[in-house]
Amino acid sequence: MGGAFIKGLHQSGGYSVTACDVDEAVLETISPYCDRTTTELSVAAESEVVVLALKPDLVGAILSDLELTADQTLLSIAAGVSTELLESKTEATVVRIMPNLAAEYGMMAAAVTESTVTDEIRAILDAVGEFVEVSESKMDIATAVNGSGPAFVFYLINAMAEAGVDGGLSPEDARTLAAQTFKGAAETVLQSDRSIEDLIDAVCSPKGTTIEGMDVLWDSDVEAEVGEAVAAAEERSKELAQDAADE
Ligand SMILES: NC(=O)C1=CN([C@@H]2O[C@H](COP(=O)(O)OP(=O)(O)OC[C@H]3O[C@@H](n4cnc5c(N)ncnc54)[C@H](O)[C@@H]3O)[C@@H](O)[C@H]2O)C=CC1
Ligand SMILES: O=C(O)[C@@H]1CCC=N1
C-alpha cells in the first residue's frame, strides 16, 4: 500500500518523497517514483509528514523507536490501529486514514478520522483520490468498505469476465469489457445525482435484456453475501484493534 501511495503522489507531483523499507527489493521497485530510498528508519526524523505503511502488529514498536517530534505529522494507514494508541506512542500529530490501492492511479477512496485531520493531510489525500471524513468509531466499517473493498470488487469483475468467457469472448476482451463496465458504472454513480435504484431502472429497457438478469440478482443472495463479506472484514479490523491494544 505504501508503494501505491508513493506512485500516486509521484503522478500528482509536488511532493518530495523518501521511501524507507527493510527490503531492498521493495525499494528497487519504488525507486523510479520517489526522490530517495533507504533502509535506514532514522530518515523519518527529516520528514514533515511520516506515512507509516507497516503491518498493524509492527506499528507500536517501530513508532516508539522513531521518536518523532511535535512539529511532525504521522499519517497511519494501518488497519485497526487506533488514533489513541498511535498518540500514546509518539509526540507527533497523528492522523489516521484508511486508504486503498487505487491511490496508485490517483483514484483512491479513503476515510480519515475527522477529529484529527489537517489541511496538510487533506491536500495529500486530494492528490491521490477522494476522501471522506468520519469519526474514529467508523474506521472499522470504512476499512471493510474502501480498504478491503477493491478485493471484493476485483472478485466481482472476475465473475463478470468469466461469464463473458463462458459466453465465447476472449479472456482479454472479457476482462476489458468487465473492468471498463465497473469503472463506467462507478463514474456514473459518482457523477449522477440519481439514486442507484433509478440508475438500475435506466439500464432496464422495457421487456429488454437487463431486467431478465436483474430478476436473477434480486431473487439471489448476492446482496446479503456482499454484506457478509463486508461484515467479516469489519470484524477483523476490530480484532486487529484489540490485538494492537493488547501488545
Ligand atoms: N494492502 C492494502 O490494500 C491496504 C493496506 N493497508 C494497510 O497498510 C499496511 C501495510 O499493508 P500492505 O502494504 O498490504 O503490507 P506489505 O507487507 O505489502 O507491506 C509492508 C512493508 O513493510 C516493510 N517492512 C516490514 N518491516 C519493516 C521495518 N521494520 N521497517 C521498514 N519497513 C518494514 C515490508 O518489507 C513491506 O514492504 C497495513 O497496516 C494495512 O492494514 C491499508 C489499506 C489498504
Ligand atoms: O487486508 C488488510 O488487512 C488490509 C487493510 C485493508 C486492505 N488491506
Summarised one tens digit per residue, pLDDT across range 163-173 is 999 999 999 99
- Atom of ligand 2 lying closest to residue 150 CA: 7
CB count in 10 Å sphere of residue 90: 20
Residue 63 above 80 pLDDT? yes
pLDDT of residue 49: 97
Residue 192 above 80 pLDDT? yes
Alpha carbon of 54 to ligand 2 centroid (Å): 11
pLDDT of residue 141: 98
ipTM metric: 0.98
* Cβ density class 32-47: b for 16+ within 10 Å, e for less: ebbeebeeeeebbeeb
pLDDT of residue 153: 98
For residues 232 and 112, what is the distance between their CA atoms, to the nearest angstrom? 21
For residues 126 and 43, what is the distance between their CA atoms, to the nearest angstrom? 25
Query: Domain map of the chain by residue range?
Result: 2-139, 149-229
For residues 236 and 139, what is the distance between their CA atoms, to the nearest angstrom? 12
Residue 243 above 90 pLDDT? no
The answer to whether 11 and 83 have CB atoms below 8 angstroms apart is no
Q: Whose CA is nearest to atom 21 of ligand 1?
A: 54
Nearest to 139 by CA among 62, 56, 247: 56
CATH 1.10.3730.10 is held by the domain 149-229: yes
Specify the CATH class of 2-139 in words: alpha beta
Average confidence (pLDDT) over 113-126: 97
For residues 42 and 19, what is the distance between their CA atoms, to the nearest angstrom? 12
The answer to whether 80 and 60 have CB atoms below 8 angstroms apart is no
With bands split at pLDDT 50, 70 and 90, how would you rate the model's confidence at 45? very high
Strands 108-113 and 93-98: antiparallel
Could you tell me if the CB of 78 is within 6 A of ligand 1? yes
Paired with 74 in beta bridges are 50, 94
Averaged confidence pLDDT in the chain: 96
Could you tell me if the CB of 8 is within 6 A of ligand 2? no
Q: Which amino acid is at 84?
A: E
With bands split at pLDDT 50, 70 and 90, how would you rate the model's confidence at 8? very high
With bands split at pLDDT 50, 70 and 90, how would you rate the model's confidence at 245? confident
Global model pTM greater than 0.90: yes
pLDDT tens per residue across span 82-102:
999 999 999 999 999 999 999
54: phi then psi, degrees, rounded to nearest 5: -100, 165
Nearest to 147 by CA among 106, 111, 186, 182: 111
Provide the angle, in degrees to the nearest 10, between the axes of the packed helices 222-246 and 149-166.
150
- Atom of ligand 1 lying closest to residue 62 CA: 29
Residue 244 above 90 pLDDT? no
Q: Whose CA is nearest to atom 31 of ligand 1?
A: 21
Q: Is-same-fold flag (2-139; 149-229)?
A: no
Average confidence (pLDDT) over 218-234: 98
Could you tell me if the CB of 148 is within 6 A of ligand 2? yes
